Chain A
Amino acid sequence: MSQAPLLSVENLAFERDDSCLFSEVNFSVDPGDVLQIEGANGSGKTTLLRILTGSLQPSAGNISYLGQTLSACRYDYLSDMLYIGHQPAVKLNLSAEENLRWMVATSAQSNYVSVKDALTQVGLAGYTDLPCYALSAGQHRRVALARLLISEARLWYLDEPFTSIDKQGVAFLQSCLQQHVAKGGAVILSTHQDLSLTGLRRYKLVPDVEAIA
């Protein structure tokens, strides 16, 4: 019996204010895949990722997880998914450790990597007790990315994860993605960076020509 893909997307389309942002989006993702979503600014990369997380409804098309539609397996799907959006969801009044602690407490599955260890690994040792308003934008992003080390979710959706991170950070994040994929996970990310990952595929979002004309 051939296994259904981890995630498959068929004929997805999204309209906003009567204009079509994209249509006919088709791809599927299996364990071990990294899918890089490319496209010009405003081509709908973030919108596509938000549709995948279920927080936006597509105007047409199907998303299925392990062969089932999302509405049929919403709980399992959301438990198996981790989304880090444009905004890192970091509270400025809380310290890095407190931020990570509630993020982990509200997310579905997590392994036994401790919050302190995860923050040390992303290079925030010594900053864990400072309120986050004292940290830089790159460090905020690192706090959010520390969730990746703790999560057990198989599907990772990362929206511009490399924004404002330094070179070592980019290298670390790439190795982190590589490990996740090697363990049988899958990553869908939007970025303009050139990545050197095995199993990398690219999907280019093409704006709907009719809508522009």
Chain B
Amino acid sequence: MSSHVARKMDSGFAAWLRRDLLLAYRRRGEVASPVIFFIMVSTLIPLGLTPEAAELEKVAAGMIWVMALLATLLSMDALFASDYQDGSLEQMLITPQLLPLPILGKITAHWLTTGLPLTLISPVLGLMMSLPNAGYLPLVCSLALGTACLSLVGAVGAALTVSLRKGGLLLSLLVMPLYMPVIIFGTATVSYAVDGLNWLPPLAILGAMFAASVALCPLAAAGALRVTASN
């Protein structure tokens, strides 16, 4: 059997990233729903609260961050669910490669299809919520880092609840405490900037959280999947 030369093996990261992006492209409507939710709710806030710029600018950063968090949370339980049902998750578990790499590929695809669009659309929503000018750059920076943290941490919750039929609520309860520091420092970044303070320290803490999540969350998700998916 060794007459053929074996192809160079993929680490699994690129293959799963490519596949999940392709899948997301095929299910554009479904994938876009967190972003549409994000836009809709943010549009409703000035109508429901007050259209006055002076009032709105106080809550703008916090509201945008809360919406971004909820939008990410909405899309989180689909991360492993369909793979679990059709057997591809089982195939992922038995590949010889290190399991965290394919998982990181899936998380990256998730961020590219939810976190990144949320980040890119946020200045428009900032405009709608009359965010002061100084807040735009910090908003985009903090959302870019923060949503990546949310995807990574959410993946651990999704892995833990994958074998439960109605894991959505449990998933929210599990990851919500871990999401709190992200939203605290995310909104702090923007409000520091609006108040004319140096906004880099809270952003640096977000960066540290991101670095820790990249290193730890795929490992935790891999461990969780080994336990939950084998039942």
Contacts and interface: CB of A to CB of B under 8 A. Distances in A.
B96 A74 contact: yes
A152 B4 CA distance: 8
B82 to A, nearest CB: 8
Interface stretch (A22-30, A52-60, A122-130, A187-195): A52-60
B27 interface: yes
A106 B1 contact: no
B22 interface: yes
A92 B1 CA distance: 33
A69 to B, nearest CB: 16
B96 A102 contact: no
A90 B7 CA distance: 23
Interface residues of B, number: 33
Contact of B7 (A55, A75, A110): A110
B95 interface: yes
Nearest to A106: B15
Interface of B: 1, 4-7, 9-10, 12, 14-16, 18-19, 22-23, 26-27, 82, 85-88, 90-97, 102, 229-230
Q: Is the interface of A mostly helix, strand, loop or mixed?
A: loop
Given A78-B96, A109-B6, A111-B6, 15 more contacts: A50-B90, A74-B96, A83-B91, A85-B87, A86-B87, A87-B90, A89-B88, A89-B91, A93-B27, A106-B10, A106-B15, A106-B97, A109-B9, A183-B1, A184-B1
A94 B21 CA distance: 11
Size band of the A side of the interface?
A: 35 or more
28 contacts: A50-B90, A50-B230, A53-B94, A74-B96, A76-B96, A78-B94, A78-B96, A79-B96, A83-B94, A85-B90, A87-B85, A88-B87, A89-B91, A91-B82, A91-B86, A92-B86, A94-B19, A94-B26, A102-B16, A103-B91, A105-B10, A105-B15, A108-B95, A109-B6, A109-B7, A111-B6, A154-B1, A185-B1
A87 to B, nearest CB: 3
Contacts of A93: 23, 26-27
B96 A55 contact: no
A98 interface: yes
Given A106-B15, A106-B95, A131-B26, A55 B90 contact: yes
Contacts of A77: 96
